[in-house]
Structure 1
């Protein structure tokens, strides 16, 4: 099955998935389980065992067309616990003004669902399941984001003659990060702009090389929108990674690059779930910051 954008309204893709990466993904901010075991003893060992049991099936990946348009694809990518949720009205309501002529797609990927965070007694001790299952699902989704990013890059490369704009929230921004890194291997600039809202992916000094790679396929900019009031990134994301992570959606990207633009939305976005509702205002601020009257994509 050739993976590409077409007139099809919806297609799933579950085969020929990239091999699953190791769990110790230090370069993109997944706290290594070996360290977790060192610090947490038997709890870390139990979590590691549970994760190894879960990282076996190829990730779910499906692109659904929302509206037809020209050969400019705008792709929305949601974050944690969004798997199977097809409602994209929050994106649509705020993107219409800037991207009305584009073809819109929604990427549904293995981001886990609310049902996945319930205790799974089949592979967790019953007395630890309630505590550990949300963390298991979180780490699982973080790893699946890499596989989804590689598949998205494959879809883009398989569709010549199109322009692409990527917009992701939370772990959806992580998917985009990996897609851009994968596309960098193609040595082609096929992405117009990327919008990262409250990104759950690291952007500290140790991640500079990864972000430099991510800029290679981008013609315009990577607009990283962050808010210091995003408590989910501050406490949940950083906490799950033992406070060793610096999420781009909380404090920006360390790498200074002509194609990376950090947008401080602290005064606009008060929490992690408020990002998409402010997308239209964020786009306006981006236009203002670039000194332009209209979005350069259109």
Structure 2
């Protein structure tokens, strides 16, 4: 597609200069300080307005002000502009966003596309050895304003992360082989994207193998300071890497409970993807059953690329018992009478205990006990997940969470625990909940949303009769997130009706199988904005 519009000259460059042929002399010099003074002012102003719009709560005030002050210094602007930027941050002058956008588009360095801004914001956000979830969502927001594809941010972050880590850890032959196969398929696309991002005007030069060296070196040099790769071995470079990726280096993959925590018997993370990235996605399975979905990883085989991915392994003994109970429940409803009652229930949308057909209530004892146990265990697991994230086992990187059924309930209690503690903002970037058996009242979610920097996607289905039946003991809660949209007036909340992918016959069970064919399977942390 790129080739239809421009001519590409493929070069092989192995040196490591920045765009002007010299190594990065000071932080921000790779891109930000190469803009004109009006361009740098517009850059800072656009970020100020965006910060004020995206993170309005008092809990984000310190982050907003520190980020803005640091950005002004990063761009080499005089401190006299801070009062003006503070006014933009407070919401004044937001109508000038189009003007700032136009000024930046007029910069020679940002033609034909403004991807250098994305590079510079990523580098700036990483300079202190942490990648705050709010900072990453700001980068995504700015990228969206300039129509930079989400895949570009993914590719650049991955390349920069690999550059920063260098040869910090040894990889097995199997990991190296898998990485080489993966790299062959994406190398040209990645290098074209990076080349398109950093060379402005005239003929765009895409470069093969050696292209990543000079272009990503600029970003790494901006993060680490002068010397770039050489600084990786310095005390400052080691401190930044230890902070960003976790001091132990193993991240979530190396975390496992050494002993029982409260009522929790099992809690560990299994990797779904290889390599180390600048952001992490944790997927939480809701139950285990026989056949195709007998493992924790199986439902996430079609999860779109979204950084470093893990699935949470928790309480498998109880989740399997629940899966068996659900199978027994459905097998007991094969008679014509039960089928007619089931059909009536689905069509009428009855979800209260008083109106369930007697034939259905007669077999309720089969499932009530394992369901109740799993409800209790999921709450405890969610609280423990919050403790793991709060202790930065994943390093100081943003985390996105996705889960279905009881897995979504785990995430709900994780957010609840984080919201009850001060200073937990900036850990969680995006949340995706599918068929969540949790309270859907706006009052409850108003508090929980404060610890989510990006989006909260609530996938619901009004005709999910099985979820309604399982959750009937909590009928005092008139609103269940998995059955209804959450009526929260907040830019974070997105309600998605999954009726088209959840079949009426198996209802709640088809949420996991629907992951492979539904839009939810491609709801990565980066395309949620669009």
Secondary structure of residue in 2 paired with 1:12: coil
Length-normalised TM-score, structure 2: 0.39
Cα shift at 1:113: 3.4
Cα shift at 1:201: 0.9
Secondary structure of residue in 2 paired with 1:79: coil
Number of paired residues? 233
Secondary structure of residue in 1 paired with 2:518: helix
**Deviation string for 1:7-59 (max 9, x for gaps)?**
57464326473x6xxxxxxxxxxxxxxxxxxxxxxxxxxxxxxxxxxxxx444
Matched, 1:167 2:402: yes
User: Looking at both structures, which has the greater relative contact order when contacts are Cα pairs under 8 Å and sequence separation is at least 6?
Assistant: 1
Provide the rounded CA distance (Å) in 1 between the counterparts of 2:378 and 2:280.
Answer: 20
Structure 1 residues 7, 284: closer, same or farther in 2, change over 3 A? closer
Matched, 1:150 2:383: yes
1:203–1:248 contact (8 Å) kept in structure 2: yes
Give the aligned partner of residue 64 of structure 1.
270
Structure 2, unpaired ranges of 5+: 1-245, 326-362
Matched, 1:189 2:426: yes
Cα shift at 1:168: 0.5
Secondary structure of residue in 1 paired with 2:494: strand
1:212–1:255 contact (8 Å) kept in structure 2: yes
User: Which deviates further from its counterpart, 278-287 or 191-200?
Assistant: 278-287
Cα shift at 1:261: 1.2
Provide the rounded CA distance (Å) in 2 between the counterparts of 1:275 and 1:212.
Answer: 26
Length-normalised TM-score, structure 1: 0.66
Structure 1 residues 150, 142: closer, same or farther in 2, change over 3 A? same
Matched, 1:74 2:308: no
Cα shift at 1:211: 1.2
Matched, 1:295 2:527: yes
Cα shift at 1:200: 1.1
Matched, 1:212 2:446: yes
Give the aligned partner of residue 50 of structure 1.
none
Secondary structure of residue in 2 paired with 1:113: helix
Provide the rounded CA distance (Å) in 2 between the counterparts of 1:80 and 1:5.
Answer: 30
Select the residue among 430, 443, 460 that pairs with 1:226. Answer: 460
RMSD: 3.4
Cα shift at 1:286: 6.7
**Deviation string for 1:132-170 (max 9, x for gaps)?**
463122111111111111111111122242111111100
**Deviation string for 1:170-197 (max 9, x for gaps)?**
0111110111111222432211110001
Query: Greater helix percent: which structure?
Result: 2
Provide the rounded CA distance (Å) in 2 between the counterparts of 1:179 and 1:232.
Answer: 24
Cα shift at 1:213: 2.0
